């Protein structure tokens, strides 16, 4: 039986790949984007199985309208993919108040508002599946991604909690944690600060490290994500790509080692 997917941020990157692969597989998709002209070509792939909806995740009225359209067109929503988001690049001191608030408005509050708008649909149905895009930066952080990582840490935190809250209603939750892929993340989906000269050594170190990073194929990543989401027992967290898996494992290992090193002293506070 085909599934009905509600996906945010489908004009580029993982979102676009998701729509294209799902339509080829015979599923139905509510594809959303801030500007409809960027996703009109989806209609050529499967005009009867795709519905386009204008949606800026910072606009609650648009979210509610898109969800209502989805139910009116397809009768239900099986899977909600919170993919819309962008990156903020810079050192903490360089960020403006506006940049920090925008990062959280899109990456955190936008996700929460989509979840709150679709939850009544899932509860009425007695089933559903939230797929929330985090990042391997949702488990560790480094310059120059402190605020971006903070937004993804937030997604990880509330997703882990509501996974248990919503499970009693038959609702599943999966947090997707990709590493670096050939999407538009480093293009117009990235906002930059004005660099301060004193951070030049850190930027140089970052650029040197970036040259050694393996850039993954988003088509392969999306193929994996779809197969896992459609499986009988999808995980709460899904690292996507070997770099994500190794990096997350290393980060957790270092954290456990530090806890072990300080466990005795920590106990002195009992």
Long-range contacts of 97-103 (CB under 8 A, 24+ apart): 99/147, 99/191, 99/193, 100/147, 102/191, 103/147, 103/148, 103/151, 103/191
**Secondary structure class of 185 (helix, strand, coil):** coil
Q: Which residue in the list 95, 130, 145, 148 is annotated as catalytic?
A: 148
- What is the longest distance spanned by two Cα atoms in the chain? 66
Cα-to-chain-centroid distance, residue 33: 15
Rounded CA separation 107/117 (Å): 16
Q: How far apart, in whole angstroms, are the C-alpha atoms of residue 106 and residue 101?
A: 9
Residue 57's contacts (CB-CB under 8 Å, 6 or more residues apart) are 8, 9, 63, 84, 106, 110, 111, 113, 114
Question: Quick check: is 134 catalytic?
Answer: yes
User: Which of 134, 151, 159, 179 is flagged as catalytic?
Assistant: 134
Active-site residue among 28, 130, 135, 152? 152
Count, in order, helices (H) and strands (E) of the chain.
9, 9
CB 139 within 8 A of CB 130: no
Q: What is 223-250 written as a DSSP string?
A: HHHHHHHTSSS--SEEEESHHHHHHHHH
Distance CA 211, CA 190 (A): 18
3-state secondary structure of 34: coil
Joined tokens for residue 23: 């339509």
Strand order in the sheet with 4-7: 50-54, 28-33, 4-7, 79-82, 128-133, 171-178, 237-240
Annotated active-site residue 148? The verdict is yes
Active site residues: 134, 148, 152
């Amino acid at each position: 039986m085909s599934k009905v997917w509600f996906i945010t941020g489908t004009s580029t990157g993982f979102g676009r790949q998701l729509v294209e692969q799902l339509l080829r597989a015979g599923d139905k998709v509510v594809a959303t984007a801030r500007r409809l002209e960027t996703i009109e070509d989806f209609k050529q792939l499967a005009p009867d199985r795709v519905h386009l909806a204008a949606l800026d995740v910072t606009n609650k009225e648009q979210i509610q309208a898109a969800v209502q359209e989805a139910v009116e067109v397809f009768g239900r929503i099986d899977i909600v993919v919170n993919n819309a988001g962008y990156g903020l690049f810079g050192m903490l001191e360089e960020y403006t108040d506006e940049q920090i608030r925008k990062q959280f408005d899109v990456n955190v509050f936008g996700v929460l508002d989509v979840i709150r708008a679709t939850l009544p649909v899932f509860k009425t149905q007695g089933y559903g599946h939230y797929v929330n895009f985090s990042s391997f930066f949702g488990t560790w952080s480094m310059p120059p991604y402190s605020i971006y990582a903070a937004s993804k840490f937030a997604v990880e935190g509330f997703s882990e909690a509501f996974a248990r809250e919503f499970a009693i209603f038959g609702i599943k939750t999966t947090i997707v944690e990709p590493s670096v892929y050939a999407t538009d993340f480093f293009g117009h989906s990235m906002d930059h600060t004005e660099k301060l000269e004193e951070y030049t050594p850190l930027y140089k170190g970052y650029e040197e490290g970036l040259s050694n990073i393996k850039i993954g194929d988003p088509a392969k990543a999306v193929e994996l994500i779809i197969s896992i989401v459609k499986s009988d027992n999808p995980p709460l967290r899904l690292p996507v790509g070997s770099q994500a898996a190794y990096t997350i494992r290393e980060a957790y290992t270092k954290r456990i080692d530090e806890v072990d090193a300080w466990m005795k002293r920590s106990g002195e506070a009992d």
